[in-house]
Structure 1
Amino acid sequence: MGTKDRLQQNQVVVYGVAVTLAIVAGLGKPSVSSLFEPLINPVLAVLLYVTFLEIPFTRLRHAFTNGRFMAAALGMNFLVVPVVVFGLTRFLPQDPVILVGAFMVLLTPCIDYVITFTELAGGDSEQITAATPVLMLVQLLLLPAYLWLLMGQQVAEFVEAGPFIEAFVLIIALPLTLAWLTEFWADRSETGDRWEGAMGWLPVPMMGATLFVVIASQLPRVQDSIGQIAVVVPVYVAFLIVMPLLGRLAAGLFQMDIGESRALVFTSVTRNSLVILPLALALPSGYALAPAVVVTQTLVELTGMVVLTRVVPGRLLPNGPSTSILSES
């Protein structure tokens, strides 16, 4: 087995080391926050570029034609998830500062490491990648509306479109375009082919780097207010339990194959904490605790992903065509 294959098979170990180092750095020297925070978007953009390169665009175009998966992903993320989030947050203190952070992160589907975790679980990452731009655009349009519906006009007005548009251009559109151009270059040039091959080593290290930068830069916020934000942890854990079950049920109703079913589960459960973080940081000073609520979700979700990458292919959707959750043997 080659070194690259071993790296792929030990992704979770790499991520665990990155998170551990980030915790040590963040807790040991809180001043590193200002050093790493400006690196979040650039590191995330590189991660998405090398991730998009993993999937040939000839197959990605085919994935766009799968209207069934796209409809299921949109339905789960923008119809089912808001209902679940509304129900779960009834157990939180009705403090706007806590609620706005929880709503912002839970109502927005992931568009980055969901691809990696879907691959780890043997899901159809092409479908996830194809859905990424659509999910990003729809959450850009709907998040203010959901915040207005759930919290009132005052909070919704604080959420500006600017950071979301910037995130879409820099983190999604630009890496996707560069990946397409790289693949075009690799098909016509030996140099381009070598470049693409070299980039193939980077998805796992870049994911580790992204986790390190985000957690190390934001952990001091969590550390300083852990007593106040601990109340959101049970809600985040409950979300990680409920959404995979609902995702499996939906996959059965849509009669999806095993790869699509696993992909639907992961897009239903993973949230957009890395992209939402700049939005939370842009809230007024009275909402300074909201970024800590978002970062807490990141830490809870990463722990949950380690479990789900084993539980989904091992127990929830082990083999064969997906069926209703009620028919699981």
Structure 2
Amino acid sequence: METAWLQRHQIGVYALTVGGAVSIAVARPATASLFEQLVNPVLALLLYVTFLEIPFVELRNSVTNRRFMAGALGMNFLVVPVVVFGLTRLLPADPVILVGVYMVLLTPCIDYVIAFTDMADGDAGQLTAATPVLMLVQLLLLPAYLWLFMGRDIAAAIEPAPFLEAFVFLIAVPLTLAWITQLWGERAEAGRRWEAVMAWLSVPMMAMTLLVVIASQLPRVQHSLEQIAVVIPVYVAFLIVMPVLARLVAGRLRLPDGESRALMFTSVTRNSLVVLPLALALPAEYGLVPAVVVTQTLVELTGLLALTRLVRSRVWERSETVIQKVSFE
């Protein structure tokens, strides 16, 4: 199976994978714990494969791109909180539901967002360069936003350890290994062959990530779906509103197409897999919060597949004309 064939049919591969993962989760929920142990290793390998496709000269140049960094920070930490606060006005005044929604929607993704950006021909290198800043700022601001929206007790329950562990294991280690591999590839034929094999693995690893995440997380929510179904329209609305706002901001900042796509994905994709340990550590009265977080993961993965297809289509290209009129006239 050639790399070009996999790239051309990747959305179909992912759709079949999602269907298979749902079937496993429903038919064999006891396997969830096994799949959960695989989530971080599979994510780390996916990001290693993704980082291999980014020239490190490009990555160094991306660090100094102030317009993109301003756009990513502004979207995630100024625009998103306003949107989230507005959307949660549609929810019942249940602290458990609200805490879960705030925790997951106020934290930008630092892991598989890079793979989805790369899959949609966005500037994955630029987004990778922004990842340390996004991680640090969300670590500092999440307690502040929870204190503002929910009160002091919830804010005090946030621990930095899961954020730091995720950054080291999912970003720093794969990025370092990818850099070493690229150096190896420049010096030896064996290194170039290894890089070719890793390039072939790009689509299979994305499919494996979808499989382990869905198969491990779906059993968490299937018994409490009636209680948390109220949050699904909010998550769907977030997936619809944020791409439009990100496209407008990208037009205002005059970002190139690749950076515009990257800005859209960082604005939409949330840090659910890192936030989940925080949710599990909350007091017993917040026992439903992990299910609220996991529900966002399941909605988001489905939405990202649709968004990826949309961004790669002519709809995205035609929207540039509309954005320019809105931004500059």
TM-score by length of 1: 0.93
Structure 2 partner of 1:32: 31
Q: Distance in 2 between matches of 1:219 and 1:137?
A: 29
SS in 1 for 2:29: coil
Q: Relative to structure 1, is the Cα distance of residues 200 and 243 closer, same or farther in structure 2, using a 3 angstrom cutoff?
A: same
Q: Relative to structure 1, is the Cα distance of residues 6 and 100 closer, same or farther in structure 2, using a 3 angstrom cutoff?
A: same
1:45-124 alignment runs, 5 A limit: 45-124=44-123
Q: Distance in 1 between matches of 2:171 and 2:212?
A: 19
Q: Does 1:5 align with 2:4?
A: yes
Task: Provide structure 2 residue ranges, at least 5 long, that are not aligned to the other structure.
Answer: none
Q: Relative to structure 1, is the Cα distance of residues 34 and 236 closer, same or farther in structure 2, using a 3 angstrom cutoff?
A: same
Q: Distance in 2 between matches of 1:325 and 1:225?
A: 46
Q: Relative to structure 1, is the Cα distance of residues 50 and 121 closer, same or farther in structure 2, using a 3 angstrom cutoff?
A: closer
Structure 2 partner of 1:21: 20
Structure 1 partner of 2:314: 314
The one-letter code of the counterpart of 2:206 is M
Structure 1 partner of 2:176: 177
Q: Distance in 2 between matches of 1:50 and 1:270?
A: 20
The one-letter code of the counterpart of 2:216 is S
Q: Distance in 2 between matches of 1:144 and 1:5?
A: 45
Q: Distance in 2 between matches of 1:40 and 1:219?
A: 13
Structure 2 partner of 1:255: 254
Structure 1 partner of 2:243: 244
Q: How big is each residue's C-alpha offset from its partner over 1:216-235, in whole Å with a ceiling of 9 and x where there is no partner?
A: 11111110100011000110
Q: Distance in 1 between matches of 2:288 and 2:135?
A: 24
- Which of 47-56 and 125-134 deviates more? 125-134
Measure how far apart 1:36 and its partner are: 1.7
User: Cα RMSD over matched residues?
Assistant: 2.1
SS in 1 for 2:122: coil
Structure 1 partner of 2:128: 129
Structure 1 partner of 2:227: 228
The one-letter code of the counterpart of 1:272 is N
Q: Does 1:300 align with 2:299?
A: yes
Q: Relative to structure 1, is the Cα distance of residues 206 and 130 closer, same or farther in structure 2, using a 3 angstrom cutoff?
A: same
Q: Distance in 1 between matches of 2:21 and 2:272?
A: 17
Q: How big is each residue's C-alpha offset from its partner over 1:132-173, in whole Å with a ceiling of 9 and x where there is no partner?
A: 222122212221221111111111122211111111111111
Identity %: 66
TM-score by length of 2: 0.93
Q: Distance in 2 between matches of 1:321 and 1:70?
A: 24
Q: Is the 8 A contact 1:248 1:324 kept in 2?
A: no
The one-letter code of the counterpart of 2:147 is W
Q: Is the 8 A contact 1:186 1:192 kept in 2?
A: yes
The one-letter code of the counterpart of 1:315 is V
Structure 1 partner of 2:187: 188
Q: Relative to structure 1, is the Cα distance of residues 314 and 306 closer, same or farther in structure 2, using a 3 angstrom cutoff?
A: farther
Q: How big is each residue's C-alpha offset from its partner over 1:64-97, in whole Å with a ceiling of 9 and x where there is no partner?
A: 2211111111110011101110110111112222
Q: Is the 8 A contact 1:258 1:322 kept in 2?
A: no
Q: Distance in 2 between matches of 1:284 and 1:50?
A: 38
Measure how far apart 1:320 and its partner are: 6.1
Q: Distance in 1 between matches of 2:327 and 2:162?
A: 44
Q: Relative to structure 1, is the Cα distance of residues 35 and 61 closer, same or farther in structure 2, using a 3 angstrom cutoff?
A: same
Q: How big is each residue's C-alpha offset from its partner over 1:18-59, in whole Å with a ceiling of 9 and x where there is no partner?
A: 221211111112111222222221111111111111111111
Q: Does 1:167 align with 2:166?
A: yes
Q: Distance in 2 between matches of 1:177 and 1:239?
A: 34
Q: Is the 8 A contact 2:248 2:327 kept in 1?
A: no
Measure how far apart 1:321 and its partner are: 7.8
Q: Distance in 1 between matches of 2:60 and 2:192?
A: 21
Structure 2 partner of 1:326: 326
Q: Distance in 1 between matches of 2:33 and 2:275?
A: 18
Q: Is the 8 A contact 2:46 2:206 kept in 1?
A: yes
Structure 2 partner of 1:199: 198
SS in 2 for 1:44: helix
